[in-house]
Every structure is written in structure tokens, then in C-alpha cells.
Amino acid sequence: MKSHYSGYSWAAMAILAPCFSLIIFAHETPFQSVLHNYSAEGFSIEEATIPQIQQAFKAGKLTSRGLVEFYLDRIKKLNPLLHAVIEVNPDALLLADIADTQRLKAGGTIESALHGIPVLIKDNIASNDKLNTTAGSFALLGSKVARDAGVVNKLRKSGAIILGKASLSEWAHFRSSNAPSGWSARGRQAKDPYVLTADPCGSSTGSAVGVAANMAAVTLGTETDGSILCPSGANAVVGIKPTVGLTSRAGVIPISHHQDTVGPICRTVTDAVYLLDEIVGYDPRDHRASKRAAPFIPKGGYKQFLKPDGLHGKRLGIVRGPDFSKMSGSSEAVSFEKHLATLRQKGATLVANSGIDAILNANNGIEENTILLYDFKHDLNIYLSELLQSPVRTLADIIAFNKRHPQEEKIFEYGQDYFLEAQNTSNFNAKDYKKSLKRVQSITKNGIDKVLKDYKLDALVAPGNNFNIVSLLAIAGYPGIIVPAGYDKSGVPFGICFGGGRGSEPTLIKISYDFEHATKIRKIPMYKI
């Protein structure tokens, strides 16, 4: 849901907390000043991209063990303050050693781009190993999944190392409208590594914070409405929200089969695309959606669209949104206009009056909310019923668990209004559910689809905090990519969002990659108290 609505046990985390006392001695300090940056043979891991890491593997300058040790050290030092990671994989170093052995036997070169690369995955994505999958809630602690999520299965086949589980807004921010973004009972409050008091957004908060602070090479998040795009923008990283079905949702704790999607959150467009390439594809356990999306996957994958001239000849519809006037004079508004000039300089044609604002106003969120409430109860109950073991088997069980554990789950502070509303829904034959589905389909067909076609647009461009366009992409099931776009006067990051029609990832990748290289906005985090 959008923001505005293991290795380390809790005991271990309490022990590790004093490690961070070293960092809190000034109002502003670069993380690197108190952290050791692993360097060997002239290779620095901090901010290293997947291609750079693979080249270091090949040249014998780096091992997967050394890489994993670096990230475990970062987690040990940073997590007591940032709360980006709920658990680390106790087998991470063993898996790293296996990867190193495989690479040695292969003569130093393995085809998979993710082989030996540590990946942090959001805690609502199932992994059939020693890690828990809990959506940040104590209600699912100790539950046992039957198998890896579809995307995790693909990661393992690629040779990637599951580093651990990232924190999140509990239940992907679909428990309570009052809980802050990035809070969960198990993970506590995740914090923006640039400005600790800033809203880190959610619900894929830990994934965004973790990769921004170099606590992982790359991460996976999920989105129903804004949960990849918003935290990526707020933490100066790149997020790709794929077309619904392009990546399997099987084994992901659900909100809605209509809108849920899994996507990369990384420091660069290149890394995000490399990760995307490894997780897309048909999955019989997510048959309907993945079959529909599979034809959009290009032969040869998505890396071929990382082009330096990706903006040339593109037609982009500008989406300022109904609230943009309120941002007048702000850092984000000024930067957005500056970036529009950059897009023009790179050869793009910008269309200012495409009629998209009228569509944004038509989408008031009521229909979407109705759909999500019905879907959540239905989809979650199915997920829970398929667990091999679990203390809860239905949404009603979770509501009861929270009532029995109000302190741990902060029920008195935040409540569980979304849960209660969802529990009160009936079935998919309900008139308000069917009416809402038709309304959303109409907004998509006669709205975003029509605008893209009538104005011959390749994509839409909007400020990263424009939740109107993010929600429009969400209800349509369409892709979006957010790229770092600047920092406000307090140092809080913000992004710029590119969105398009179903299966338009190749075009969005071209645009995003070219923009990223033309602007080079991202910088290493500095925390401010």
C-alpha cells in the first residue's frame, strides 16, 4: 500500500546496538567515516555495481565471501540505527563459499550476472530456508512456507545469495492507516539514511534504506500502490515497479492479485535491470497474470535497452498533478522543471497538455480501496491456508492475535482498521466490488491508455512524490521506474518517475538510464539527526 494511508535475533540486535554509538557524535557525518570499506587490489565494494563486482570476481580481486562479509559488517554497524534488516541468513557465508567454489571450477567466469551476488529480499517474500517470512508481524513468526516464492526460486537458479530479509511497513502497510511508513513490530522503525527524522516511505522501506546505505548489493521490494516507487525516491535509489504478472507473485504475502508486483530496488538503473532480467518470466503458480505478461518479455532480456541515447526521439507526457502548484518554489518543483529541460536537451519531445490531470482527478481512490479490501481478505486467507505450519490461518486469526498482543503490535497506538474493514467484506460477487472493478477498468482504458495513444506518448514523466500518477499506474497494473532527482534543503532525497503502458519496460529503461547518466544525482548517504 502507499505510504500515506536470520541471523540476528532480537537479543543479538540488542547486543549490537552499542556498536552504533560510534556514529552518533555529530549532526552530520558521512557513513564511510565510521565504516571500513573493504578494498582489495584497488577494488572498493561500496557503491559497486553488479558488472563491477562480476569483473572483480573474474579478475580475482574479490570473492563472494569477502562481499558477504562486507555487507554483514555494514548490517552489524548500521542496522541498530536504520532498522533496514529484520534477519540475516545464517547460511549466507556458506552460500558465498559455494559460489566461490563454483566460480573456481568454472575458471573464473560464470554466465549468470547474479551468481555470487548477495540479495536482500523484503520480509513478505517467502524463502524456504532458515529465514522467517512474516510481513514484519509477530503473528507469522515461526510459520513455515512450503517452498520458495517464485522470484526467490529464480534468484537461487541464477546463483544469487539470499542475504536476509528487509524490514517493511507491517503487512505492506495494509494493517493500519495510522502506522508510520517503515514501522513493523518485528523490524521497528526503519529510518532514512540521509535524514534520520525524514519519512523513509514504504512499504518496501528496508529494501530501499538497505541498498541506499550499502547494506546489500541489490534488493527486492513489492508494490501494490507506491511501495517500490515511493521509498526508492525517498532514499535516493532506483526502483522498478514492473507490469503486474511480469514477475511472479507466488509465495508473496498478498494484498491484491490485481495490483501486487515484485521489483528491484537498487543504486543504479543498470543494477535494477540486471536484477529484473533474472526474476521475470512465467510461473505456473501465478498462471493467469504471468501468462498474460510473458509475451512482453523481450528476447535477449532487458539489458539491451541500457542505451546512452535512450531519450532521443521519445515523446513524454508531463504529469504535474493537481497538487503541484502547492510545491511552487520547493526544491523538488525547481528540480523537476530543470530536469524537463534536460530531457529536451537529450532529444525528447515533451507534451504538457495531454489531459492526464483530468484522469488523475477522476481516480479518487475509493474504487481502488474497495478492491484491495476484498482482495486482501480472500488472497491472504489462501496464502495462510497453504503454509505448512502457522499460528494463524485466517485474517480473523491475525486480528485476534493482535488483540492478544497489543503492546508488541502497538495496537493501542496504531490500531488495525484496514484489517477490520477487510474482514467485514463478503465475496467477489458483491455489487460494490464488481462496480469498483468496472470503474477502475474504465479509468485505465479511457484514461491512461487513451492519453498514451491519442498523444502518441512513449511514457509519462512526473515528480517522484506525485502519488496521483503512482496510483494510476497501480490500478492499471502498469510499470513505473523512479530515479534519483535531487535533495531538498534539509538533505532529504526525492526522485523523478517515468511510467508507461502495459509491458513498456524496454522504453522506460531506455529513458531512465539516459536520464540517470545525464544527471548523476545519487550520492552516498549522510545521516542527519
- SS3 for 56-121 is HHHHCCCCHHHHHHHHHHHHHHHHHHHCCEEEECCCHHHHHHHHHHHHHHCCCCCCCCCCCCEEEE
- The per-residue b/e assignment along 240-260, b for 16 or more CB within 10 angstroms, e otherwise, is bbbbbbbbbbbbbbbbbbbbb
Query: What is residue 112's predicted lDDT score, i.e. its pLDDT?
Result: 96
Q: State the catalytic residues.
A: 122, 203, 227
User: C-alpha angle with apex 170: 165 to 483, nearest 5 degrees?
Assistant: 70
What is the full DSSP assignment across 153-201?
A: HHHHHHT-EEEEEE--SHHHHTS-SSSPTTEETTTEE---SS-TTS---
Residues 332, 47, 116: CA angle, nearest 5 degrees: 130
pLDDT at 40: 57
φ/ψ of 343, rounded to 5, equals -60, -40
In the chain, domain spans: 10-303
Cβ atoms of residues 244 and 261 within 8 Å = yes
In order of 36, 140, 156, 184, 300, the CA distances from 152 in angstroms are 30, 19, 6, 22, 21
240 and 272 in contact (C-beta within 8 Å)?
yes
Cβ 494 vs Cβ 465: under 8 Å: yes
pLDDT at 324: 72
DSSP at 266: E
DSSP secondary-structure letter at 279?
H
pLDDT in tens, the chain (529 residues): 544 333 333 333 332 333 332 222 233 444 555 555 666 567 899 999 999 999 999 999 999 999 999 999 999 999 999 999 999 999 999 999 999 999 999 998 888 999 999 999 999 999 999 999 999 999 999 999 999 999 999 999 999 999 999 999 999 999 999 999 999 999 999 999 999 999 999 999 999 999 999 999 999 999 999 999 999 999 999 999 999 999 999 999 999 999 999 999 999 999 999 999 999 999 999 999 999 999 999 999 999 999 999 999 999 999 987 777 667 788 999 999 999 999 999 999 999 988 787 787 777 789 999 999 999 999 999 999 999 999 999 999 999 999 999 999 999 999 999 999 999 999 898 999 999 999 999 999 988 999 999 999 999 999 998 888 999 999 999 999 999 999 999 999 999 999 999 999 999 999 999 999 999 999 999 877 5
pLDDT at 12: 34
Whole-number Å distance between alpha carbons of 278 and 310? 22
Helix 366-385, helix 431-443: angle, nearest 10: 120
How far apart are alpha carbons 237 and 325 in whole angstroms?
A: 26
CATH number of 10-303: 3.90.1300.10
Rg for the chain, CA atoms, rounded? 22
What predicted TM-score, i.e. pTM, was given to this entire model?
0.93
Looking at residue 495, its pLDDT comes to 98
Report the pLDDT value the prediction gives residue 327, as an integer from 0 to 100.
76
At residue 318, what is the residue type?
Answer: I
